[in-house]
Amino acid sequence: MKPKIYIFSIFKWKSDLLHREHMLALAFSRLGYEVCFIERCHKLSFRPTFRQEGKIEVLTVFALPYFKGLSLAVFKLNDWLLRRQILEHIPDNKAALLMLSSPLWTNVAQSVKPKKGKIIYDMSDNHLAFATNKRWFENLKSYESTLLNIADETFISSPNLSGKILKNKRYKVFGNGVDLEKFSEAKPILKDKYEGQIVGFVGGVYERVNLDIIEACALELPEVHFVVVGPTDRQAALKKMESLKNFHYLGAKPWQEIQNYFASFDIGIIPFVSEVEYPWLKTVDSVKIYQYAYFGYPIVTTQFGQIESMNEIVKVAKDKSEFVKFIKDATLQKEDSMIRRKRKELAKEHDWTKIANEMSVEIEKLSQDV
């Protein structure tokens, strides 16, 4: 009998960002698993709420904001609050797989795990790289060290995260992917809105995105539309860029509809800052690569670890001027159909359902160990 999978997420189900937890929840449900997606909210309530999203149960529980990790007391209080809300919803007499996407769930999962339960740490980021002060770093490091020790197995999205794994502990690399089922239904909804070619970026528009590169491209190619989709904390910079008639910031869109924006592009871009400025990029496995690749069109990026082995299908710019050149070339030159086919093949190899199916082999092994 398959265990019920509880995905402890750092994102809400209706998040502005499409993330690995959403895709795995959908993929596991397609494989016949019962899936419960556990999300936190900061709206004061000590009564957890249940709702159904298709085949997936969503359990919403209250937690305090972590206030940038400055107080260990908040960590401990949240552990207590979350445990009280979740405990009764995970039966102690049934097989369960608790999949944690963040170290912040460590103590909670440990305390609610049933007798027939297993814990998997699904590490898709170097979480410590997001800590912006020493106390936050130390608190998070303590939680992650415990999680790496108690987890029955760790899944990592990039081989570059393997250095975190403790000696003699089980781990497996499962990269990110693309939802072939959803993307096969995509509609190019922007094609009627903008005449001419569209260069696009989808994702969080935060400090890791080099807006100067996008602006330089838009200035150099006024007849080409540059579209950015995603949540941001850089509204002022984007508003300034919107003075360019060919630059369009469309804001955040529901992740359930995001495939329609990818389908609208003629070129996909990933203009990240350097790994020196943003060390998180050393371990990232960006889903955008696979989502762009699904449609076969040209992809232009800056340099970061993931794309080092993808030079045949991705144009990797070493600086702003080369990025602009690669975009210009892509708008003018007809590309070899073989390259487009290889991109589509890459996307098929990284289907989320295929990834979840491979994960289920490991889950089955763990279940037999109960």
Superfamily the domain 180-349 falls into: Glycogen Phosphorylase B; (3.40.50.2000)
Q: Report CA-CA distances (Å) from 215 to 115, 227, 304.
A: 56, 11, 20
Question: Residue 353: pLDDT above 80?
Answer: yes
Instruction: Give the total residue count for the chain.
Output: 370
Question: Residue 169: pLDDT above 90?
Answer: no
Question: Residue 18: pLDDT above 90?
Answer: no
Mean pLDDT of all residues in the chain?
A: 94
What is the percent of the chain where pLDDT is above 70?
Answer: 100
Structure tokens at 132: 């912006």
What are the residues facing 305 on neighbouring strands? none
Question: Residue 370: pLDDT above 70?
Answer: no
CATH architecture of the domain formed by 4-177+351-368: 3-Layer(aba) Sandwich (3.40)
Give the predicted TM-score (pTM) of the model. Answer: 0.93
Q: Do the domains at 4-177+351-368 and 180-349 have one common CATH topology?
A: yes
pLDDT tens digit sequence for 69-110 = 888 899 999 999 999 999 999 998 899 999 999 999 999 999
Question: Residue 6: pLDDT above 60?
Answer: yes
Domain boundaries, the chain: 4-177+351-368, 180-349
Helices (H), the chain: 20-30, 72-86, 106-112, 134-150, 180-183, 211-220, 235-241, 259-262, 287-295, 320-332, 337-349, 352-368
Q: Find out whether 281 and 265 touch, Cβ atoms under 8 Å.
A: no
pLDDT at 273: 93
Helices (H), 36-190: 72-86, 106-112, 134-150, 180-183
pLDDT at 363: 95
What residue type is 118 in one-letter code?
Answer: K
Q: Find out whether 162 and 156 touch, Cβ atoms under 8 Å.
A: yes
